[in-house]
Amino acid sequence: MSQSSLAAHQTHTLDIAKIRADFPILQRTVHKKPLIYLDNAASSQKPNQVIEAVARYYRRHNANVHRGLHTLSEEATTAYESAREKVRAFINAAEIAEVIFTKGTTEAINLVASSYGRAHLRAGDEVLITYMEHHSNIVPWQMICEQTGAVLRVCPINERGELLMDEFERLLNDKTRIVAFNHISNSLGTVNPVKRMVQLAHAAGAVTLVDGAQAVPHQGVDVRDLDCDFYAFSGHKMFAPTGIGVLYGKRYLLEQMPPYQGGGDMIKSVSFEKTVYNELPSKFEAGTPIIAGAVGLGAAIDYLNEVGLEAISDYEYGLLTYGTEQLKTVPGLRMIGEAAEKTSVFSFVLDGAHPHDIGTILSHTGVAVRTGHHCTEPLMKFFKVPATVRASLAFYNTREEIDALVVGLGKVREMLL
């Protein structure tokens, strides 16, 4: 960590002007208004440091990895593998063999559901998920349950959008094989008590998969402290490019698991009689990977370390408190998701206005929010709304931008009501 960020870290303040200058897209306008980007839970923006790292890779080092002896291939391999080491340190995994690059969270979950699920689930076994999962942490489990005869169980939530931990404990039993849940909900911002949930699941003899897609951009994650068995996340939500993501898995589990896809890179030797699979992590990385994406992810991790995740958490907590207060002043606004432990996500509905109309009008004031069910249809049903408006913040957002959202909502009311 540099001297200046060390100072920032200690006082937990961020130099927002400097940070915003790192993100070129934040300088642009939409509909002749300055862009106010509040759709970070869907995908985050990229700092120059990431954009440049990707460009530099293509300008100077581009080649295939693990396959050539020539200089470029060696450089590309080094760049790719050093990104893996950065990820390892970022989540405090024990070794790089436990860090598998995937396309994103979705692919990471599918990998575990297919490979671990198919090998371990039998008819009558149970998989436990929660009511607040993203479709990508529902559908792969439904698919594998259908194939194996296992049963999918769902832990309910309360009106504030918090898991009912009593129910969670009650649903765990000696048939539970896999427990999969998100660290932070993309629709509600709820931060789940992951460590406790992992302990309870382990006590019941189940393995755990944590969907960390919404956690890694906001707070430090230590997979060994959480003691989870698998942890999945996407680069594009943490200021890195799209197309790259990570599956962390404990070595002993990954070793037991059959490969997910077959092809080049994942094998040691191939003959028509017998193929010997490669060691971890290559065993799960068939084909040419998204090398530049991994390089970009490494650069994003460097950037986050430089700014400091603790400072980011503190700053965003301030935005959450401020935003919650300000949005309360909008007549007819109902917040969906008011968990005691929450990140800077505001999901809401407005009396008499459909989210899609709100989204269109806000967009013309320069404010980008997401409207819809946010890939969490069961959750929308629970709250009895067809959709919500969601403003999701990152550390480059400001109080002034929250003010602009509130003003925009005033305009929505003027136009629609």
Partner 1 sequence: MNGIAPGVKALYREAIKDYAARLADWPPPEVVTHRAEGFNPHCGDALETALHCREGRIAALGFDSESCVVCHASAALMAQVLQGIAVETVPKALESFENALRGHIEWPEVFDEASCLEPVRDFPSRIQCALLPWHTLAMCFHPQPTTACTEEEIPE
Ligand X SMILES: Cc1ncc(COP(=O)(O)O)c(C=O)c1O
For the annotated catalytic residues, the residue numbers are: 375
In whole angstroms, give the CA distance from residue 123 to residue 406.
52
Q: Report the partner that residue 380 touches, choosing among ligand X, partner 1, none (CB closer than 5 to 8 A by kind).
A: partner 1
Q: Which run of H or E residues covers position 378?
A: helix 377-382
Q: Determine the 3-state secondary structure of 341 from DSSP.
A: coil
114 binds partner 1 (CB under 8 A): no
136 binds ligand X (CB under 6 A): yes
* 412, 358 Cβ separation under 8 angstroms: yes
Q: Residues 356 to 395: which contact partner 1 by CB under 8 A?
A: 356-357, 359-361, 364-365, 370-375, 380, 385-388
The correct pick among 22, 39, 125, 211 for binding ligand X (CB under 6 A) is: 211
Give the CB-side neighbour count of residue 349, counting CA atoms within 13 A.
15
The stretch near ligand X (CB under 6 A) out of 208-216, 325-333, 359-367, 399-407 is 208-216
Distance in Å, CB of 73 to ligand X, minimum: 29
Q: Which run of H or E residues covers position 54?
A: helix 48-56
Inter-CA distances, 191 with 160, 182, 237, 308, Å = 12, 8, 16, 20
Q: Which one, 8 or 191, has the nearer CB to ligand X?
A: 191
188 binds ligand X (CB under 6 A): no
213 binds ligand X (CB under 6 A): yes
The correct pick among 40, 110, 114, 186 for binding ligand X (CB under 6 A) is: 186
Q: Which residues of 133-168 are buried (b: 16+ CB within 10 A; e: fewer)?
A: bbebbbbbbeebbeebebebbbbebeeebbbeeebb
Q: Token match 């699979």: residue? A: 277
Q: Which one, 293 or 308, has the nearer CB to ligand X?
A: 293
Distance in Å, CB of 137 to ligand X, minimum: 6
Q: Report the partner that residue 327 touches, choosing among partner 1, ligand X, none (CB closer than 5 to 8 A by kind).
A: none
* Residues in touch with ligand X (CB under 6 A): 41, 104-106, 134, 136-137, 182, 186, 211, 213-214, 234, 375
